[in-house]
Structure 1
Amino acid sequence: MSEVFSTTADADAELDRARSGDDAAFTRLVEPLRRELHAHCYRMLGSAHDADDALQDALLRAWRGLARFEGRSSLRSWLYTVATRTCLDVVDRRGKRALPVDLGPSSDRVVVGDAPVTEVAWLGPYPDAGLAAGPGARYEQREAVELAFVAALQHLPGNQRAALLLFEVLGFSVSEIAATMRTSTTSVNSALARARRIVAEKVPSATQQQALRKMEDARLREVVAGFTTALERGDAAALVALLTEDVTWAMPPMANWYAGRAAVMDFAVSVPLGSCGAWRHLPVSANGQPAVACYLWDEAAGTHRAWSVNVLTVRDGLIAGITSFVGAEHFPPFGLPDCLP
């Protein structure tokens, strides 16, 4: 809280004002923590929109229960406890979120006009602007929101998900996690062991942050620019030159996904480079990874409309995965316009 309060006495005085019913004081207390709490809710829930709702609910719960905060832990730890319990309630009600790869094998033929699958709760992208390093963190904050990691978390029951995040990402002790989750330290250790085993099976050994550190900034800019230029010009040869042999392309909420350079290029030539129309793009950053906001020409409206946020997974200077989150609803969290002239 040093960003706002110059001394512990100042912070204590502000807390006393908040306890007495001063909602402005409460807002000043929680504002420096809002971004990291929001990122925690996203990791738990796999959706920026769900994170918005969960954080709002958690802060309301915290405001109403502030009189019960006795100061035996830091305000930050207490707020994480409230936010975690709020997210666990959401997990119990809504279940897990998925990517197309979770639903079945890759498609062996191109599907043009693929219909959205609305009965699945899909994983969503997360804007990097919301990331902030918290004290005691063991994972880099960007690693902790990478698509592969957040997708793996969705395979865990809520208690294992919470235990892993609180311990590995936020640096909580086992006893603190047990208090947060109202369980025993033995249960927490057991949940951690099971969670680590499942995540290790599903997350690549090399994180995107490690891959990006090996990649020169100029090469990364070249890859992103090459991807957007190839789509805008309909240049299949330029696109294929940017892809690894085992590249994948998925497009939630469409269930079909493609694996391997040949299958991906068949899809690209048939759909984004073929039947879709004219594209424009804006580079962004999502889930600690390079990303591109795609706008598709709408003849009736006379403008390019928000279509998808494409999160790129890179390896050895090439694109190893494209996850196109289709839907204009993904654009507002990134501060992106809904159309381009």
Structure 2
Amino acid sequence: MTATDDSVLVGTEGRAAHLTLNRPKALNALTHTMVRCMDEALKTWERDPAVETVVLTGAGERGLCAGGDIHAIHHDVRDGDGTVSAAFWRDEYRLNARIACYPKPYVAVMDGIVMGGGVGVSAHGSVRIVTERSKIAMPETGIGFVPDVGGTYLLALAPGELGTYLALTGVRIGAGDALLCGLADHYVPSATLRLFVDDLATMPVRKALNRHVRPVPEGELATRREWIDSCFAADTVEEIVQRLLSHGAPAAKETAETLLAKSPTALKVTLASLRRARRLGPLERVLEQEYRVSCAALTAPDLVEGIRAQVIDKDRNPRWSPATFAEVTDADVESFFTPLGERELGLAGPDSTEEVAW
């Protein structure tokens, strides 16, 4: 391995090229420099006939990636004008799109914690590996934000209303549920991950998979589908909460309490984002929508307050504004989807603001 930037180790071994996220003390949280480094490496390897496979891993024992560097976003929103965060997201979402259409096998090792931006650099890959240690989540509503990095695209495709459940609650799921929800493809026990990655240097991906993939342990969501699908199919967050409280299943009531602690604005915008994502079509259009929503969040109060409460001060007592569902109007929600004009992400062409049918 060689290091072009010490936060991402870049190198090749045999027929495989490797990207290793290398900020283990920060759980490999993504910075703008890391995103640019990954994108440049992928562009180079795409043209290199000696590279047949790309492998993404995370340094340390805790996980692949905890998401974007939200300390930097908090600083930018609190003390700046948000342009630094918007520039980071622009390059990050473009990287997500590149990964999704990469012409060579992109093997993402989703061992340990994989959240937010970590999902973006892994779950769009063509070969997604989970282990018994995998803990996958899109927890953005807990910090007053909305699932991004193509997360609303992935979750909109999940069976039934499982994606809506995961997006609104931000709960962590393991290997079995990741496969059920379409966020992963194969289960490899963590004890044999090293051997699997080593084999990718000398053999095709399919052969390495056949050697190391094992039956996935059973998840938990399949047994909860009845109340998840019935409750989260509602058209509004208020109705979802009411259905959960009225259902009778203890887990449904607990889920309602979880939602009531989240940002009311973030929940309503997330629900609208998911419903719209189902009609938008390809990933590029959804990423464009997410970019509009993310940029709008930079001027709303809940993002900086949510990061303060959960990450900076850690008092776990965010003061959301507005504080109730009733105070978040349809116009408030709609404002998050306002086209950006010249600042659009521009991945899907000039007519990408229009929704299309599946």
| TM-score, normalising length: structure 2 | 0.30
| TM-score, normalising length: structure 1 | 0.31
